[in-house]
Every structure is written in structure tokens, then in C-alpha cells.
Amino acid sequence: MNRTFLKSKVHRAVITAADADYEGSLGLDEDLMKAADLLPYERVEVYNVDNGERFATYLIKAAPGSGTVAIYGAAARKAGVGDRIIIAAYTVLDDSETEYFMPRVVLVDARNRIKDMKALT
């Protein structure tokens, strides 16, 4: 049997830019992408802590070390600059893979700098 599990997340990132007219979806600091094991164009779920909006989109790389979390295109109607969001990616695992699997969690500060990383147990 296959089951869907949380693979990784960036917890409480702060949106630094929003542009509904820009082609793209969610720009994320490349350092945060690497820390969370996320790839360009990977599907993510976004949960807006401040207004309750939830939506799916894909990632594009932003400059490493920039702290950028930018909402582009239609997603910019769901979140704005200063909103806190959770960015989550999921994976499908076979039952045999689930026993030792642990998602990667990246906790960030108000400037989107990594303050802690952990694997959920």
C-alpha cells in the first residue's frame, strides 16, 4: 500500500514580495530550498497562518541568502507581503519505507533565516 506523508516544510516564513502580474508562483531563497530538500518546480502546499488561505503551487529559485519568499501570479491573491506561511511538500511512500522515514523541517526567523532544522519523529 502507498501512503502520502509530509516530506519537508519551511515553517512560518514571512512573505517578502508579491506580484500578481509576474509569471511564476512561489520564489524561495535557494538556501531554504536546499535545507528543506525542495527542488525548483516542485509542487508545494502553502498555508497562510495570518488569513487561513491554503493553496498549491510550485517553487522557483530565489537568490541564495536573500531571505526571499515571493508570491507570484494567482497565488499573490491568497497572500501578501508580511504574511506568515508554512510551505509543505509531500511524498508517497510504500509501507516498507515508512518505518524509518522522517520529514525535514526548517524553522525560520522573521527575516527568513534558518534558526533550527529538525526531523520529526
Residue 16 contacts residue 36 (beta carbons within 8 Å): no
Neighbours of 2 (CB within 10 A): 10
90 flagged as catalytic? no
Strand order in the sheet with 84-94: 17-19, 69-72, 26-29, 54-62, 43-48, 84-94, 2-14, 104-108, 114-119
**Catalytic residue of the set 47, 58, 66, 90:** 58
Residues 6+ apart with CB under 8 A from 100: none
**Catalytic residue of the set 25, 41, 47, 90:** 25
* Nearest one of 80, 121, 104 to 11, comparing CA atoms: 104
Residue 70 contacts residue 62 (beta carbons within 8 Å): yes
Active site residues: 25, 58
